[in-house]
Chains A and B, each alone.
Chain A
């Protein structure tokens, strides 16, 4: 793993990988959306609105998975000071926030025809909203800070913030078990799924497809930060050379 913490080695892998993640991700998402909208029947209780799960569940998974990765990057930054960990954490924040916002919005859109309300201050929705605010806080904390000007590394405070925020992830996951609310209990667990296979299979396509798109977005944002760092380093060298000549 240490070998790939070098930006040059990382770019040798990231450059060919980005279009593959993007292309395969888009194809899988399109296939999953097509199947979810046209190839599966509506739910016998929820009707057509159950089709929203094919975008809502991947959004929830990536919102939570995004913060887990961000916290892991924060931990690596704190312990090993890998040059890429801070860059990765910065690159994860925006797509993580995007999918958390999509999870809340699509859940709300599903809630109105199903529960009769757009919003309920229950454990699952409130903890997901807290995750959205955590992402916003992380972006505000790291945007334009000293670390961004010095190669993209995270400050100690930002790395600790990422780790402390990770406490919210098991709370989101267990919220429907701990508190009784409008939100249904876990539908998919390690022991199986309460969703019938006739409705479940397009979810695999969108879940995997959106995950690949998330990966592509993260790689693109990491590549941008590395390119910006190289430009800044080059301009500093040019300025130093001019200063020496003068």
Chain B
């Protein structure tokens, strides 16, 4: 092994596991050896068509059969696998952005020196991410990947179902990856947390909030929170765990989780945290969506006092159990709010801050799939969402909703449900699994209107059918994390209503 390769196999990598250490040497060596860029030298000029110096070999699957409306396909990149999520970091010293994606194959990194044609430059494979006890090289799945753009860190949220684990056996938590040199990502450590699926930076990434499904493989959760059997009932799950990451060598997870009692007094599955433009962290999951201040002095409508909000003791802001859409039923998925974005600007006849955009998720036939919902927070600013009980329930008000079913460009087969979205102006770009990426104008929030779409159906030789997980508006383009295809790069050709290209917020907001 060359000294250069030895240097790349960091202490933190072999810190993870003996098996991992061996695997790192075997699996990473050849691929990392093909990284030509020296981190100490100026970044290479990226030759994105030929993938020359400074890049790794990548695959580009051209969707010759794509069904599109007001969308131009620009490129597809594969990296290490399909992906659940993306994020971006701007590097001042290079003068351009880098894109980070995580999926079953691990972490992939692309240079966006040419934003329309990402250049694959580095990876951390699932084999490198194994910890003692793992039985498979399969990362799962790190939805809503979060980054610290200042310290140049990427956090991969590990679901207990990853690496051969189950909800009752798998280890959950997050990995900290140092990407100060994006060509040479370094695993700092894996930090166990009694939850894992999505993680979100809070307060300038000095804290991280981690959430996920019912899990007991990593100790800490109260069995009373968990459904018996899992998910058979509309309530139950695990709450939100707070980790102090001021010192990345010593993350500290508070043993008292937050956002308890979220569903009419029942602690339930928290799935996502997304910070809005005002700094309010919106916690979505089974039983709706609730926002919290995480810093500053605020009125606490639950405790009825002014107090200083912190990441580990946030101050309730607004929100509660959302109303279900017509025909959604009354089971777990009817109340499963996957993620939520706060509309901090005036929209239609609704004042600034009054509305939430919500993904209700249920992967089923498209005619029965869950939808994008628009709900009003009116009446929830006094803490009603924290006082709701089965006997005296409080519900947000459903304003409007959208489904891909029956829309132009939709298929009649294939998996289908609302999934992750980001918002540019008043245009929501939302992933719908096999129904692709949908562009929805919410200028009239009572009547969301589809204004564009991009779907890659199956059945064409050589074309990988799509299963869109998450689209991201980023500097005028849309990058789509796709479970099957990798990353598709798109341009929306329609009109971006509202105030386009403002700060794009999801997770901890795009700071680039």
- The answer to whether A binds B is no
Please give the residue numbers on chain B whose beta carbons come within 8 Å of chain A beta carbons, in ascending order.
Answer: none
Please give the residue numbers on chain A whose beta carbons come within 8 Å of chain B beta carbons, in ascending order.
Answer: none
